[in-house]
Structure 1
Amino acid sequence: MNKTVCINAKIVEGCRHNNAKAQMKLYDLYCEAMFIVAKRYVKDKVIAEDVMQDAFIKVFKNINSFKNEVTIGAWIKKIVINQCIDYLKKKRIELVSIEEKELKLADNDDWMVEDETTIEKVLQTINQLPEKYKTILNLYLIEGYDHQEISQILNITEVASRSQLMRGKNKLKNQFKDFKYV
């Protein structure tokens, strides 16, 4: 077992016993990365911090359900993402469903960005999109969820997930076209 895994296991065990120092260590290890995750879903820094804080409260309340099937970081990330989704649902972000006959499926091959485009530029551009597109793009492109999983997370149909992804990709493409002329 590597040293990092042993350290994390001790920290998790301390958190299971409500040890404040262990909780603070776990928080310090992951707060920056989880803030970045939350910021991908929630544009406002203050709200992203609040969502992340709420997620860590859930982490500490539910630490006994952590079964070491994934890394503690992956487990926390999933909680942060779910907390962000819950926040967006409370804001009542409306994801519009369309008829399947109107749907042009969004394939991974249907778009590309220029070689000089950086990941940071793509993420920055995604963050400027309306919430309904930003959420789908983050879940699909960044987090790697498929449409079935997205439909369950957001409580929408798979068709709606695909259509929002397609529309989000189109908006993203248009943003990159706009960047070329600026």
Structure 2
Amino acid sequence: MKHFIPGSLLLIFLCCLFPLYGQQHPISEKVEISGLVAHPFTLTPGDTQGLRLQTIKNDRNVTGMSGEIKQEIRTFKGILLRDIIDKAGVDMPHKKDRGRYIVYVIANDGYKVAFAWNELYYGPAADHTWLLLEKNGKPITKNGRFTVFCASDVVTGPRHVKWVSKIEIRRLD
């Protein structure tokens, strides 16, 4: 009887995990821009809220920590993350506090990436961090409708966010 209980618990545990293996994440049809903003809004692939959608020829791929290419991106169509933040209007009463503001990009699967507000306005990421709607001439469909890509990162994989559903502005205390 002693051997039956641990084996049964293992079997129950594995049965509970099996449905999660290979499970697809629900595709987000929209991105909510919220948090410490004056004008929260929502983007959909068909309605980019008057933001400038740009087509960019790209020479950077999605790379892993050891330099392996995880995904090739030759061209993309997207909106600068900074332009999205500008449209929302960050609620920042004291400009000297700008170093305390963080922009979180949140995916449906719970993956989160943080960008410092200062880097999106004053650093190399300012002109190279995009919310993508198309890659290589095709709409993004496999990994959600939206992806965030920072082409100025040395290793681009860790801040490449698929299934983007929220962009949230927060203040660190």
TM-score by length of 1: 0.28
Please say which structure displays the higher CA radius of gyration.
2
More strand by share: 2
More helix by share: 1
TM-score by length of 2: 0.29
